Amino acid sequence: MILVTGGAGFIGGNFVLQWFAGEHNEPLVNVDKLTYAGNLDTLSSISERDDYFFEKVDIADEAEIKRIIAQYQPRAIVHFAAESHVDRSITDPGAFVRTNVVGTFNLLEQARHYWNDLPEPQKSEFRFLHVSTDEVYGTLETNDPAFCETTPYQPNSPYSASKAGSDMLVRAYYHTYGFPVVTTNCSNNYGPYQFPEKLIPVVILNALAGKPLPIYGNGQNIRDWLYVGDHCAAIRLALANGRLGETYVVGGINEKTNMEVVHSICTILDEVRPRDAGSYAEQITFVKDRPGHDARYAINPEKIQTELGFKPAHTFETGLRETVLWYLNNNEWITRVQTGEYTQWVDQHYAQARGV
Ligand code: NAD
Ligand code: DAU
């Protein structure tokens, strides 16, 4: 049994689907608070399996996390749950500190007590895989070398500062208690089931709706893109073979300016969903820049490649095309996200469960 947090989110959801798509058949419990970003629709294809369990719980809830760990007795925890959107962290930083710092602390603490009492060999085999971000390293100038595992932490947004805080706690639990952790710090993900607040789904869905494609600032900020399925594969490698106490930066060597990304999406849409007049690129609109907007992220994935044999299966071109086609072919998921219908089910379901 493995325990996943945040498995109803974008990357966690893809991870859970990939887990059950594989040949092995290990049960999984998904612990998710179902914030606006948690969407059980993503998991509808596996939700009835008898080796899948779901717990609607906040990772900061001490009693519930203790109960869940004791009940399911996981051999590993894969920790995705977080507030993840930089723009939201600028308007509501408190939520980021509560979940990313306090929530991670609570999860570590409850897991450490459980692990402490495990008999061998379960104790030596236990793993806590912490999923983090390259944003903890701050921002790069054009000619700086890419981030690697020894790059100093210089987080610039409340989001990245809260993730840096969680990374530091994870590190301290290894050094102080010998708690068996592995951390991954990944670059920007894209792919199916991403909530339409992040650049790529915003641009695809706005383009199709005839709305402006909002580019912050001058559009020259650079991100290093990795297809979500490749990130999930990297996490599985780190979970299986990552060295204890180590961090692994994860990326696909796909640095693109935001303008390049947006133009690539428009080119694919022009081909697969042509409009009568003109290109989707005509909808590009420059808007006010994000405060403290990091200029460039880039990853040097040499360690995870050489130590764990990580090799992405997608190039940016194949992954982006798959992603655009996914958004074109999954209207129901998109409509329920855009109308908020996916949350109504949760409200009704849990109101019934409480007898309301
Ligand atoms: P997401 O926002 O799509 O999903 C987050 C999930 O966590 C949601 O299901 C949400 O309901 C859940 N959650 C939030 N607060 C919770 C709480 N207090 N208790 C329990 N569940 C809670 O995020 P994502 O993009 O899938 O990112 C997942 C992880 O990967 C995060 O830790 C993020 O920092 C990291 N990461 C993301 C990217 C990226 O490009 N999206 C890249 C690198 C690392
Ligand atoms: O680098 C990893 C990080 O990538 C993750 O840790 C975060 O959880 C994830 O949200 C992502 O952060 P970014 O801020 O890089 O992603 P976002 O999609 O919000 O923005 C990508 C770039 O596009 C960034 O330079 C801001 C810009 N942008 C974004 C949006 C939403 C726009 O120009 N217009 C937009 O509407």
Measured in Å, residue 10 CA sits from the centre of ligand 1 at 7
6 pLDDT above the threshold of 90: yes
The whole-angstrom separation of Cα 211 and Cα 133 is 30
350 pLDDT above the threshold of 80: no
Known catalytic residue: 302? no
Nearest CA to ligand 1 atom 1: 9
- The predicted model gives 49-74 an average pLDDT of 98
Say what percent of the chain tops pLDDT 70.
Answer: 98
Of all ligands present, the nearest one to the C-alpha of 234 is: 1
Of all ligands present, the nearest one to the C-alpha of 292 is: 2
Measured in Å, residue 133 CA sits from the centre of ligand 1 at 11
Q: Is the CB of 208 under 6 A from ligand 2?
A: no
Q: Is the CB of 107 under 6 A from ligand 2?
A: no
23 pLDDT above the threshold of 90: no
Q: What is the position in ligand 1's atom list of the atom closest to the CA of 250? A: 43
Q: Report residue 4 as tokens.
A: 């996943």
Residue 284 DSSP class: E
Measured in Å, residue 13 CA sits from the centre of ligand 1 at 10
- The whole-chain average pLDDT of the chain stands at 96
The whole-angstrom separation of Cα 242 and Cα 229 is 18
Residue 209 DSSP class: T
Q: How many CB atoms lie within 10 A of CB 124?
A: 9
- The predicted model gives 227-238 an average pLDDT of 98
Q: Report residue 55 as tokens.
A: 């717990």
- The predicted model gives 173-202 an average pLDDT of 98
Measured in Å, residue 10 CA sits from the centre of ligand 2 at 14
pLDDT of residue 316: 98
- The predicted model gives 34-61 an average pLDDT of 97
Known catalytic residue: 159? yes
336 pLDDT above the threshold of 80: yes
Asked if 269 and 203 touch (Cβ cutoff 8 Å), the reply is no
Q: Which CATH architecture has domain 2-193+223-253+292-314?
A: 3-Layer(aba) Sandwich (3.40)
Q: Is the CB of 286 under 6 A from ligand 2?
A: no
354 pLDDT above the threshold of 70: no
Grade residue 342 by pLDDT with cuts at 50, 70 and 90.
confident
Report in angstroms the alpha-carbon separations of 267 from 227, 273, 283, 330. 19, 10, 13, 20
Grade residue 344 by pLDDT with cuts at 50, 70 and 90.
confident
The whole-angstrom separation of Cα 16 and Cα 6 is 10
Q: What is the number of alpha carbons within 13 Å of residue 193 lying toward its C-beta?
A: 22
- The predicted model gives 328-342 an average pLDDT of 92
SS3 content of the chain, % helix, strand, coil (to 5): 50, 15, 35
- The predicted model gives 303-330 an average pLDDT of 98
pLDDT of residue 356: 58
Q: What is the position in ligand 2's atom list of the atom closest to the CA of 223? A: 15
- The predicted model gives 101-125 an average pLDDT of 98
The whole-angstrom separation of Cα 188 and Cα 250 is 10
Q: Is the CB of 265 under 6 A from ligand 2?
A: no
Q: Would you list the domain boundaries of the chain?
A: 2-193+223-253+292-314
238 pLDDT above the threshold of 70: yes
Ligand 2 mutation pick, 100, 185, 223, max ligand atoms within 8 A of CB: 223
Q: Is the CB of 135 under 6 A from ligand 2?
A: yes
Grade residue 353 by pLDDT with cuts at 50, 70 and 90.
low
Asked if 269 and 339 touch (Cβ cutoff 8 Å), the reply is no
The whole-angstrom separation of Cα 314 and Cα 233 is 12
pLDDT of residue 276: 87
pTM recorded for the entire structure: 0.97
